[in-house]
Amino acid sequence: MKFTELDLKQGILKALKKKGYEDLTPIQEQTFPHVLKGRDLISLAQTGSGKTAACAIPVVQSVDPSLNEIQALILVPTRELALQYVDEIAWIAKETTVSAFAVYGGFSIDIQKSKLNHGVQILVATPGRLIDLLYNSPLRLAEVRYFVLDEADEMLNQGFLTDIEFVFSCMVHEHHTMLFSATMPNEIKHLSKNYLEDPVMVELIADKKAPDSLSHYFQVVQPRHRFEKLVELIEQEKPNQAIMFCSSRNNCDKLYDHLKGKVKSVEQIHGGLDQNKRTSLFRRFKRRDIQYLVATDIASRGLDFSHTTHIFNYDLPQNPEAYTHRTGRTARMGREGKAITFVMDRDMRKLNVILRANRIKPQWIGDEPDLSKAPRGGGGRRPSGPRGGGKRKNFRRKPKSSR
Ligand code: AMP
Q: How large is the average pLDDT for residues 261-272?
A: 93
pLDDT at 15: 97
Domain-embedded: residue 83 = yes
Count of other CB atoms within 10 angstroms of residue 363: 13
pLDDT at 139: 92
Q: Between 84 and 393, name the one with better pLDDT.
A: 84
Residue 342 to residue 334: CA distance in whole angstroms: 25
pLDDT at 390: 35
Count of other CB atoms within 10 angstroms of residue 227: 17
Q: CATH no. for residue 274?
A: 3.40.50.300
CB 296 within 8 A of CB 247: yes
pLDDT band at 380 (very low <50, low <70, confident <90, very high): very low
Question: In this structure, are 43 and 150 located in the same domain?
Answer: yes
Question: In this structure, are 82 and 222 located in the same domain?
Answer: no
> Ligand 1: which of 17, 31, 32, 52 to mutate, most ligand atoms within 8 Å of CB?
52
What distance separates the 2 farthest-apart alpha carbons in the chain?
72
Which ligand 1 atom minimizes the distance to the CA of 306?
10
Residue 28 to residue 1: CA distance in whole angstroms: 10
Residue 73 to residue 92: CA distance in whole angstroms: 16
pLDDT band at 210 (very low <50, low <70, confident <90, very high): low
Q: Which of 139, 168, 203 is the last residue of a domain?
A: 203
> Which burial class, exposed, middle or buried, applies to 216 when counting CB atoms under 10 A from its CB (0-12, 13-18, 19+)?
buried
pLDDT, one tens digit per residue, over 59-109 is 999 999 999 999 999 999 999 899 999 999 999 999 999 999 999 998 999
CB 104 within 8 A of CB 129: yes
What percent of the chain is modeled with pLDDT above 90? 60
Domain-embedded: residue 397 = no
Domain-embedded: residue 398 = no
Which ligand 1 atom minimizes the distance to the CA of 21?
20
Question: In this structure, are 331 and 252 located in the same domain?
Answer: yes
Ligand 1 centre distance from Cα of residue 52 (Å) = 7
Residue 48 near ligand 1, beta carbon < 6 Å = yes
Ligand 1 centre distance from Cα of residue 315 (Å) = 29
pLDDT, one tens digit per residue, over 108-128 is 999 999 999 999 999 999 999
Domain-embedded: residue 24 = yes
**pTM, to two decimals:** 0.66
Strand order in the sheet with 176-181: 100-103, 122-125, 72-75, 146-149, 176-181, 41-44, 200-203
Which ligand 1 atom minimizes the distance to the CA of 54?
16
Domain-embedded: residue 388 = no
pLDDT at 356: 84
Domain-embedded: residue 383 = no
Residue 25 near ligand 1, beta carbon < 6 Å = yes
Which ligand 1 atom minimizes the distance to the CA of 303?
4
pLDDT at 375: 59
Ligand 1 centre distance from Cα of residue 32 (Å) = 14
Question: In this structure, are 302 and 268 located in the same domain?
Answer: yes
Question: In this structure, are 197 and 262 located in the same domain?
Answer: no
Secondary structure of residue 133 in the 3-state scheme:
helix
Question: In this structure, are 115 and 178 located in the same domain?
Answer: yes
Q: Which of 203, 224, 240 is the last residue of a domain?
A: 203
Domain hosting residue 169, numbered range: 3-203
Q: Which of 151, 184, 203 is the last residue of a domain?
A: 203
Question: In this structure, are 164 and 301 located in the same domain?
Answer: no
Domain-embedded: residue 246 = yes
Nearest CA owner, ligand 1 atom 13: 50
Question: In this structure, are 129 and 170 located in the same domain?
Answer: yes
The single-letter DSSP state of residue 334 is G
Question: In this structure, are 244 and 183 located in the same domain?
Answer: no
Ligand 1 centre distance from Cα of residue 137 (Å) = 35
pLDDT at 205: 61
The domain tally of the chain equals: 2
Nearest CA owner, ligand 1 atom 4: 48
Residue 19 near ligand 1, beta carbon < 6 Å = no
Domain-embedded: residue 254 = yes
Strand order in the sheet with 266-269: 266-269, 292-295, 242-245, 310-313, 337-343, 214-220, 363-365
Q: Please give the distance of CA 402 from its chain centroid, rounded to a whole number.
A: 39
Question: In this structure, are 169 and 311 located in the same domain?
Answer: no
Ligand 1 centre distance from Cα of residue 50 (Å) = 4
Ligand 1 centre distance from Cα of residue 154 (Å) = 20
Question: In this structure, are 230 and 275 located in the same domain?
Answer: yes
Residue 286 near ligand 1, beta carbon < 6 Å = no
pLDDT at 378: 42
pLDDT, one tens digit per residue, over 338-362 is 999 999 998 998 998 899 888 888 9
Residue 78 to residue 302: CA distance in whole angstroms: 10
Question: In this structure, are 18 and 137 located in the same domain?
Answer: yes
Query: What is the residue-wise DSSP string for 263-292?
Result: -SSEEEE-TTS-HHHHHHHHHHHHTTS-SE
CB 308 within 8 A of CB 321: no
Secondary structure of residue 74 in the 3-state scheme:
strand
Ligand 1 centre distance from Cα of residue 270 (Å) = 25
Q: Which helix (H) or strand (E) holds 27?
A: helix 26-37
pLDDT at 334: 67
Residue 318 to residue 127: CA distance in whole angstroms: 26
